[in-house]
Amino acid sequence: SAVISQKPSRDICQRGTSLTIQCQVDSQVTMMFWYRQQPGQSLTLIATANQGSEATYESGFVIDKFPISRPNLTFSTLTVSNMSPEDSSIYLCSVLGGTEAFFGQGTRLTVV
Amino acid sequence: DAKTTQPNSMESNEEEPVHLPCNHSTISGTDYIHWYRQLPSQGPEYVIHGLTSNVNNRMASLAIAEDRKSSTLILHRATLRDAAVYYCTTGYNFNKFYFGSGTKLNVKP
């Protein structure tokens, strides 16, 4: 199993600013995943973060808007840049442990 | 990855069995079927997965159709704590998942 800690758990931000979300895992993992969950919606995969290489983004998501860092095998950050109210969502970090995925509790972001 | 279709919502009485259906008609032969659930204000959690044969674990059972174009998650005795959104997803790689819209399960006392 894997225990994932995300910080912050929630934040309210002004439009035009940026927020960096941290994800810490209690074990070393090769891949980490970032998801977005808009209000009342399902989860949408943003990108896959591998240690030592650039993140791989899904269609509709770009590095300039969602830069990701992966400095080591237990940590990753997702930045939401130049925020607008449409970025108000829950952002979740996920890792794979064996045949199942583990998710953090999420970061609830509100952009005003 | 194959697209999945689930009913938007279902309702069950407490301590009764619940059958949550999922259609995945475009699934390929090597795709596994995974189920996750998301309790209110929490991240998703693993429920069960399978390839061809029916699967049982402490949380639930997974019944997979012979043609693998559909599956059913079975909660044998629903409790109030089982009220959640249940997601069915398919994929070959046990890494990234593409979630469908899910089924919101309401359990009545």
- Angstroms from B1 CA to nearest CA on chain A: 13
pLDDT at B91: 76
Q: Which of A6, A31, A32, A42 to mutate to test the interface with B (most CBs of B within 10 A)?
A: A42
Tell me the pLDDT band of B10, cut-offs 50, 70 and 90: very high
Q: How far apart are CA A56 and CA B92, in angstroms?
A: 18
Give residues with Cβ within 8 angstroms of A99, minimum separation 6. B49, B94
pLDDT at B33: 92
Pair B49, B34: CB distance under 8 Å: yes
Torsion angle in degrees (nearest 10) through CA of A32, A110, B80, B76: -30
Find how far residue B28's CA is from the centre of its chain: 18
B109 pLDDT more than 80 = yes
First vs last Cα of chain A: how many Å apart?
37
pLDDT higher at B17 or B94: B17
> Among residues of chain B, what percentage have pLDDT more than 70?
94
Q: If we measure between CA atoms, which residue out of A25, A21, A51, A17 comes closest to residue A36?
A: A21
- H and E: helices and strands count for chain A: 0, 11
Q: How far apart are CA B45 and CA B67, in angstroms?
A: 27
B47 pLDDT more than 60 = yes
The C-alpha angle with vertex A50 and arms to A44 and A53, in degrees rounded to 5, equals 120
Put simply, the answer to whether B94 touches A45 (Cβ < 8 Å) is no
pLDDT in tens, B52-61: 999 999 999 9
Average pLDDT of span B65-88: 96
- Angstroms from A11 CA to nearest CA on chain B: 15
pLDDT at B73: 98
Q: Which residue has the tokens 């209000």?
A: A39
Computed over every residue of chain B, the mean pLDDT equals: 92
Q: Which of B32, B37, B95 to mutate to test the interface with A (most CBs of A within 10 A)?
A: B95
- Name B10's bridge partners: B105
Pair B80, B12: CB distance under 8 Å: no
Average pLDDT of span B76-84: 96
Residue spans of chain A under pLDDT 50: none
Q: How far apart are CA A22 and CA A81, in angstroms?
A: 14
Radius of gyration over every alpha carbon of chain A, rounded to an integer in angstroms: 13
> Among residues of chain B, what percentage have pLDDT more than 90?
76
